[in-house]
Amino acid sequence: MTTVTQPDEATAAVTTWLGQFGEALTANDPARAAALFTEDSFWRDLIAFTWNIRTFEGRDEITRMLDATLSRVQPGGWKITDAREPAEAGGVTEAWIDFETSVGRGKGQLRLRDGQCWTLLTTLYELKGYEEPKGPRRPRGAEHGANRDRTSWLENRDQEAASLGVTQQPYVLIVGGGQAGIGLAARLRQLSIPTIVIDKRARPGDQWRSRYKSLCLHDPVWYDHMPYLKFPDNWPVFSPKDKIADWLESYTRIMELNYWPSTEAKSASYNETTGEWTVTVEREGQPVVLRPRQLVLATGMSGKPNVPSFPGMETFRGDQHHSSAHPGPDAYRGRRCVVVGSNNSAFDICGALWENGADVTMVQRSSTHISRSDSLMEIALSGLYSEEAVAAGMTTEKADLTFASVPYRIMHIFQIPVYEQMRERDKDFYERLEKAGFDHDWGDDNSGLFMKYLRRGSGYYIDVGAADLVANGDVKLVRGQVDHLTETAVVLEDGTELPSDLVVYATGYNSMNGWAADLISPEVADKVGRCWGLGSSTTKDPGPWEGEERNMWKPTQQEALWFHGGNLHQSRHYSLYLALQLKAREAGLPAPVYGLQEVHHRG
Ligand SMILES: Cc1cc2nc3c(=O)[nH]c(=O)nc-3n(C[C@H](O)[C@H](O)[C@H](O)COP(=O)(O)OP(=O)(O)OC[C@H]3O[C@@H](n4cnc5c(N)ncnc54)[C@H](O)[C@@H]3O)c2cc1C
């Protein structure tokens, strides 16, 4: 039976624990502090103690981290966040907390079991002396009074745009002006860091405009807000791709970003002695050399196409392209189309081709997980990201922190029941798919879509309708590996021949460190190693256990090189921590990194 304790008791338990914890930390006594945690505890730190993104498991790891950081961090002021009463359910007491360090202010989340800490999240949200000019600190805008040397906002903006990258070097150069690059740039602007974002495409938003025309975001609006600027109340639940493109383009203006369109980064090298990058870019056809101190690659997790190489591709007479280059279905009405792959892009493209009267065959090479969009929204996301959650007082910031408070090591335990529920709810759907011969899975440990995303960034489809086309045979399904292409067909290993006018390779994307290989050198790409994945020893996510996403939003083995990206939710939330790490360096604050990740995989 679940017992629910009165709020007063929960508050008392948290107050007692925080008091003891604060005292142990002030006394500089890591062992005493660690003894307040359960043996199977987790402490996730987003830069507050470690200037890193790390999760510590158990008392020994916690003790070691505190040994190394405590005298510098000098944490204090631990208290329950105003207006958020601790609550207890099922033997776990949850509380939101505030604290300070020697350099900043933090927020956190605490879960107690039997009076000991089971999970702790500590995050930094601002640096003392470098608070963002927002809310009560917002800029005045107008300058009242009389001033003969007055310059207008527009004149100041023009002056800045004309000088940055020409007479003044940016402190940060962000390569890639997708939603990740511009969200980070907006945060850096608030922190007064001279920043340029470059993108090889002609207009902000073009990466979405260039994708196949039927595409809409798979995630709902509440999950997708950009930093500072929320979508208005009339924004559709699933944003069509050209609409999100226009939003991102407007964002670059509203947030006053120094955005260089039609500018491609060609090469970059780092001088360890001067601490400066030399980045050669081509801006509207002209070479320009930039010398930033920090280089951020925001070039997209789904940006570096993994194009397969099959014998005979060079002789195939029809059209063939990677899914990222698929123009849409218009030219293929009445034509025979083979789509290699069975994840998100494959389904979306198959669906759009079928709607346009093409004869479509999907080649499934390995098993895929499918979640129906409605079920995902209702069962998995609605508590944090939905209209109901908003009505119940949930803000994007609270939702993001709640999400971040569950340690990756145990996240699958909470995910498994979600997918059990989904399996039951959509039983008929899964039976029909199976009958059609579709190889469906629920993830290695039945933990479903989100864990697949975190572990390998692939292997799933959020169904918005195309799965039914496969289930009822409108889109033909064949299973197997492609062996070769002839002039007119795709041939599978078992000899099946699929005559085709179009082949789409919906074969996914490569690790982001491939961008570093192209831009900097293969040596630097190897030095930093693979991006993404937790080391869960599940399919496509080899161990050892890392505890956090490899290389994302945190220091890498290459000084002054950073990777930023992920879905809209992750880019929004983690750009805060990346921005503060960059600010600390720009401001010359000591920011020693504890537990820099080791590299176990190159790509
Ligand atoms: C079909 C599809 C559907 C998706 N649906 C969703 C969804 O519903 N929700 C979601 O959150 N995510 C979705 N994603 C993932 C999606 O890729 C990201 O959310 C988003 O586009 C990533 O943003 P980003 O800024 O990290 O990278 P991108 O949007 O890929 O932007 C990277 C930018 O880097 C630029 N660039 C690359 N190299 C250079 C260079 N050398 N010099 C200059 N510029 C360069 C590119 O031009 C590009 O504009 C989807 C992806 C695909 C492919």
User: Could you tell which of 174, 196, 199 is best to mutate to test the pocket of ligand 1, judged by most ligand atoms within 8 Å of the CB?
Assistant: 199
Atom of ligand 1 nearest to the CA of 218: 8
Token pair belonging to 595:
């537990």
Atom of ligand 1 nearest to the CA of 216: 8
Ligand 1, residues at Cβ distance < 6 Å: 175-181, 198-201, 207, 211, 215, 217-219, 264-265, 298-303, 345, 565, 567-568
Measured at the alpha carbon of residue 141, what is the angle toward residues 140 and 147, in degrees to the nearest 5? 100
Atom of ligand 1 nearest to the CA of 224: 11
What is the Å distance from ligand 1's center to 313 Cα? 27
pLDDT, residue 470, reads 97
Measured at the alpha carbon of residue 453, what is the angle toward residues 418 and 338, in degrees to the nearest 5? 110
**How large is the angle between the packed helices 179-190 and 241-254, nearest 10 degrees?**
20
> Hey, what amino acid is at 406?
V
DSSP single-letter state for residue 387: H
Token pair belonging to 581:
């790490």
Token pair belonging to 572:
């929004």
Residue from 110, 117, 125 nearest 405 by CA: 110
42 C-beta neighbours (distance < 10 Å), count: 25
What is the Å distance from ligand 1's center to 176 Cα? 9
Nearest CA to ligand 1 atom 11: 567
Atom of ligand 1 nearest to the CA of 302: 17
Distance of alpha carbon 323 from alpha carbon 345, whole angstroms: 7
User: Could you tell which of 244, 277, 299, 507 is best to mutate to test the pocket of ligand 1, judged by most ligand atoms within 8 Å of the CB?
Assistant: 299
Distance of alpha carbon 223 from alpha carbon 570, whole angstroms: 9
Measured at the alpha carbon of residue 568, what is the angle toward residues 566 and 570, in degrees to the nearest 5? 55
pLDDT by 10-residue block (mean), the chain, 603 residues: 64 96 98 98 98 98 98 97 85 96 98 97 98 95 93 96 97 98 98 98 95 87 97 96 97 98 98 98 98 97 89 98 93 97 96 96 98 94 93 93 96 97 97 96 97 96 95 97 98 98 96 93 96 96 97 98 97 98 98 97 87
Residue from 152, 324, 184 nearest 259 by CA: 184
Atom of ligand 1 nearest to the CA of 462: 8
pLDDT, residue 6, reads 62
Nearest CA to ligand 1 atom 1: 345
> Hey, what amino acid is at 248?
L
pLDDT, residue 127, reads 98
When computed from its CA atoms, the radius of gyration of the chain, rounded to whole angstroms, is 25
pLDDT, residue 603, reads 79
What is the Å distance from ligand 1's center to 303 Cα? 6
Strands 104-113, 116-127: pairing is: antiparallel
